[in-house]
Amino acid sequence: MSTQRFPVARPSLSGLEERYVLDAVRSGWISSQGPYLQRFEAEFAERVGATTAVATSNGTVALHLVLAAAGVGPGDEVIVPALTYVATANAVRYCGARPVCVDVSADTWCVDPERVRAAVGPRTRAVLAVDLYGHPADYPALRAICDRHGLLLVADAAESFGATLHGRPTGSLADATTFSFFGNKIVTSGEGGCVTTSDPALADRMRLLRNQGMDPQRRYFFPEVGFNYRLTNVCAALLCAQLARADDILARRDAVLRGYERELADAVRLRPQPVAAGARRAPWMASFLVDGAPGTRDELARGLDRLGVETRPFFVPIPRLPPYADDTAAIPVSVDLGRRGLNLPTYPELTDTDVKVISERVRQALATVA
């Protein structure tokens, strides 16, 4: 049997990335100005159906930048899903505001609009939805709640580049949408991020705060405290190449997800990610739920590691993390998914044969768990 090890994620880099980066280096534009930055912001905005993209140094600061630009501050509450990457809640804290964690829906793994509605209070300023494991949140329902209460709707689409809901791409479904271009994301510059919006005032405000708060009309005059959240032209060069290849990257990742779902369709105890009507999920990481007693998922992960397959457990719900500890939070779905969810290796270079080999190892490991 082959002993090849499979990592859970790997960036897909080609000769095009090499060429663009070399071009950026040779041009001398390696800092946070340059032609690749302008090109990337224009092309990315167009691709996701927004008027503006504001590139940032990573996806976490993209979240902070939106909330800061919208004026979220101490005393405010922002509704977030209980099941997400920690950056979503941290960004709210950076503003001095309080993240209010609500449970996700078992049908989408994204924030449950009914629970959002119930969580809105006098201090609520925004709803920050997350497209968990590539599945778009229920934006039409969230939009209705936000409009009714005058709340900002922000989408954390770090994991969902390429997803659509009723034909509309993530990036255009909320008042502002953030993306991450970390090394394990669908398109990457190693570290990087951006915010897309079609609100010109919000975009201007984000550009100002991204650049240390400097007055655009008066160099080195800083009317307020801003941040250095700029992206470099070298990273933008990588991203221009990734965008040029995005359709191929997405198609190949899609094939990997469909391959696992086909190969593992009759595997006992494994349930694939549900996809809601009208949603096209982004193929970020193949995601399955493992049925069984507590600990079964971890046992399976250990078995797979021994067989040379790296996996990832789902996120620990935010209210189960020390900085946000809240034993009273009613989040049964998030807790259940957090215990049972497992990601399998997903990257474009996996061949159909690799997917078969990994699936066979999954069956083998499943046969040995209690």
Ligand X SMILES: *Cc1c(COP(=O)(O)O)cnc(C)c1O
Chain contacts with ligand X (rule: CB under 6 A): 58-60, 84-85, 87-88, 130, 156, 158-159, 180, 182, 193
- Which one, 342 or 357, has the nearer CB to ligand X? 342
Q: Is 242 left (phi over 0), alpha (psi -120 to 50) or beta?
A: alpha
3-state SS assignment for residue 352: helix
- Which one, 195 or 366, has the nearer CB to ligand X? 195
- Which one, 90 or 364, has the nearer CB to ligand X? 90
- Which one, 78 or 87, has the nearer CB to ligand X? 87
* 8 A C-beta contact, residue 315 and residue 83: yes
Measured from the CB of residue 223, what is the shortest distance to ligand X in angstroms? 28
Separation between Cα atoms, residue 89 and residue 74, nearest integer Å = 14
- Which one, 6 or 229, has the nearer CB to ligand X? 229
- Which one, 130 or 300, has the nearer CB to ligand X? 130
Residue least distant from ligand X (Cβ):
59
Measured from the CB of residue 159, what is the shortest distance to ligand X in angstroms? 5
Measured from the CB of residue 158, what is the shortest distance to ligand X in angstroms? 3
Measured from the CB of residue 156, what is the shortest distance to ligand X in angstroms? 5
H/E stretch holding 144: helix 139-149
Measured from the CB of residue 85, what is the shortest distance to ligand X in angstroms? 4
* 8 A C-beta contact, residue 196 and residue 48: yes
Measured from the CB of residue 178, what is the shortest distance to ligand X in angstroms? 7
Measured from the CB of residue 104, what is the shortest distance to ligand X in angstroms? 12
- Which one, 87 or 355, has the nearer CB to ligand X? 87
Separation between Cα atoms, residue 119 and residue 113, nearest integer Å = 10
Separation between Cα atoms, residue 95 and residue 348, nearest integer Å = 37
Q: How many CB atoms lie within 10 A of CB 302?
A: 14
304-to-6, 77, 255, 283 alpha-carbon distances in Å:
10, 41, 22, 22
Measured from the CB of residue 110, what is the shortest distance to ligand X in angstroms? 11
- Which one, 178 or 233, has the nearer CB to ligand X? 178
Q: Nearest 5°: phi and psi at 356?
A: -65, -45
Please, which residues have CB within 8 angstroms of residue 193's CB and are 6 or more apart in sequence? 55, 56, 57, 58, 59, 60, 61, 62, 158, 178, 179, 180, 181, 231
Separation between Cα atoms, residue 67 and residue 92, nearest integer Å = 7
| Joined tokens for residue 338 | 């957090």
- Classify residue 309 by its DSSP letter: B
